[in-house]
């Protein structure tokens, strides 16, 4: 049986960001019909716990967070499920950080600040490459 993200209908989305307004913004602004938000976490450690519990297919991931940063969290999530699609959403605009996130297993990078359209384009691109 094909269990890949491509073969699924509705996909579960988890949002990880230490900013409540960014978490709410992503939830409100994402218009991808296939995505259903199953949870939101405010740091990497909480995200790992929520990831095990909710088993999302797609994750948006901030990088600069307390307790466990986003790069470390990406590594942990990939170790749990290498099929998960991760879009890093961060203000860290240097190329080296984007490359590091991709090397650790992220699938895309969206720089803050972002418009609703940029967010949806980045999510569409993420899903189209799955």
Partner 1 sequence: MFKEAEIRTFIEGTTNYFETSAQQSATVGSPYLVTDGNPGAYEYTGVIGVTGARKGVVYFTAPRGMLTVLLMRMQETDTSDENIKDLVGEVANTISGNARRDFGKNFVISVPVVIAHDLEKVTTPHSRSFVIPINWRTHSAKLVVCLE
The span from the CA of 59 to the CA of 62, in Å, is 10
Specify whether the CB–CB gap between 86 and 77 falls below 8 A. Answer: yes
From residue 87, how far is each of 2, 74, 93, 103, 126 by CA, in Å? 23, 10, 14, 13, 7
Near partner 1 by CB under 8 A: residue from 3, 4, 82, 115: 115
Near partner 1 by CB under 8 A: residue from 34, 112, 120, 130: 112
Q: How many residues bind partner 1 (CB under 8 A)?
A: 24
18 binds partner 1 (CB under 8 A): yes
Near partner 1 by CB under 8 A: residue from 36, 93, 121, 129: 93
As given in the structure block, the two tokens for residue 94 are 């240097």
Binding mask 30-69 for partner 1 (x = CB under 8 A): ----------------------------------xxx---
Q: Which alpha helices (DSSP H) does the chain contain, by range?
A: 20-29, 44-54, 70-80, 95-104, 116-128
Closer to partner 1 at the Cβ: 12 or 112? Answer: 112
15 binds partner 1 (CB under 8 A): no
């Amino acid at each position: 049986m094909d269990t890949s993200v491509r073969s699924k209908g509705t996909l579960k989305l988890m949002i990880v960001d230490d900013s409540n307004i960014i978490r709410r913004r992503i939830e409100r602004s994402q218009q991808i019909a296939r995505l259903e938000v199953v949870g939101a976490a405010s740091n990497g450690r909480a995200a790992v716990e929520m990831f095990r519990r909710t088993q999302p297919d797609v994750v948006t991931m901030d990088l600069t967070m307390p307790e466990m940063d986003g790069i470390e969290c990406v590594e942990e999530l990939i170790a749990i499920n290498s099929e998960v699609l991760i879009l890093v959403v961060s203000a860290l605009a240097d190329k080296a950080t984007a490359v590091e996130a991709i090397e650790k297993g992220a699938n895309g990078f969206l720089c803050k600040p972002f418009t609703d359209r940029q967010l949806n384009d980045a999510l569409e691109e993420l899903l189209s490459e799955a």
